[in-house]
Amino acid sequence: MTSEHEEKKPAFDSEAASSLVKDLRDAFGTGKTRSYEWRASQLRSLLKMLNEREKDIIEALRSDLSKPVLEAYVTEVVMLKSSCEFTLKGLKRWMMPEKVKTTITTFPSSAEIVPEPFGVVLVISAWNYPFMLSIDPVIGAIAAGNAVVLKPSEIAPASSSLLAKLFGEYLDSSAVKVVEGAVPEASALLEQKWDKIFYTGNGKVGRIVLAAAAKHLTPVALELGGKCPVIVDSDINLTVAARRIIGGKWALNNGQACIAADHIITTKDFAPKLIDALKLELEKFFGKDPLISEDLSRIVSSNHFARLTKLLDDDKVSGKIVHGGRRNKDSLKISPTILLDVPEDSLIMNEEIFGPLLPIVTVGNIEESFSVINSREKPLAAYLFTNNKTLKGKFVRNVSAGGLLINDIGMHVRTLS
């Protein structure tokens, strides 16, 4: 209960957002963010922050998602350190003007492309990788010489609070700011005129962001998810494939990752062998009772737990569970779950799962999987397990996705980072 002597924290409304943007425009207007020295100093400060506060970051991830220490370190801390180091290494070169040829009609002129910052940018990040998906776009924004506002996800409150604290301690607070909050705060920010918006999350909110940006003709980068399919051919090392599928589903934040395996497509004849292999390897990964495993992240919130429960309890799929399906509402944990031959019109096949449920769809011939994938919205990633060279070529030629990967899941992100 708040005492009458305590000062209430002022609401972050449209007026506060407008004032914030004005302050940032003033800071950007001084020209300091354009200098190599400022950009490099901020990036070095971020790297220092990641090194000095690694333990705090891992503890926040444990609080929000029960992320295993190794997973938190590899998928968030290490990737961000790598991103900082890579950016610092290339920054001076990226800032240099690029000479371009002129034509005889403009002789003896010269021309060059000069990179310049957008100005004041907004980053709205997601809860599933709350540090990596917050800091990585901020690294890009700073490297390009922008002033930036980060709006972390309120669904990961420990991470959001720590980001606000650490940014205040390590970065130039006149040009890099954090705004915490939920829908009201995000809405107040989106009412403002930005020079660029970067949003990570789902398509529903992505449409809201895009509509708000359109009023000011603000350019937007949307990093959205999708139903990432995994085609599994019979011509594989079954044990290796099963382990990599588990690593790219349940060991990726318990399926709460935009590049995680959403569903498997394989032949009807091969499906039983694949299921047996997955069951065997799952026990090696998470033990006989995954609900008490320290190596399995929990579902982020009761709302997301209820959403996943609804997918499982759908009459069309409740009888299709061949492994798992156990859940603990108190700990917000759902065991790794495999479903076989779920109907195309079921809820689970018509929205991004973003959790530990893995449907298996069967086809008569493995090449039929290409048309199954292409009949749906383009996925963020598509995967194929095979040793058949011809099938690999057909997969690359016929399947369109944000990224394609053969014989593993999620590793292409490490290549791009």
Q: Among all residues, which ones are annotated catalytic? A: 223, 258
Question: DSSP assignment, residue 11?
Answer: P
3-state secondary structure of 229: strand
Which two structure tokens, joined as six digits, stand for 52?
A: 């000095």
Beta strands in 76-131 (DSSP E): 98-100, 111-113, 120-124
Say if residue 108 is preceded by a cis peptide, omega within 30 of 0.
Answer: yes
> What does the alpha-carbon distance between residue 121 and residue 193 come to, in Å, rounded to a whole number?
9
Q: How far, in Å, CA of 377 to CA of 396, rounded? A: 17
Q: 176: closest CA among 346, 28, 76? A: 28
Instruction: Identify the CA nearest to 129 among candidates 184, 61, 175, 68.
Output: 61
C-alpha 275/C-alpha 264 separation (Å) is 11
Please name the residue ranges forming H helices in 294-378: 302-313, 368-374
Please give the C-alpha separations between residue 122 and each of 146, 147, 189, 195, in angstroms, as whole numbers.
10, 9, 8, 8
The two three-digit tokens of residue 184, written as one number:
């009201």
d(CA 17, CA 234) in angstroms, rounded, equals 56
Write the DSSP string, 189-208: HHTS--SEEEEEE-HHHHHH
The size of the chain, in residues, is 417
Pairing label, strands 263-267, 357-363: parallel
Beta bridge partners, 362, equal: 266
Q: Distances from the Cα of 259 to the Cαs of 5, 64, 355, in angstroms?
A: 49, 20, 12
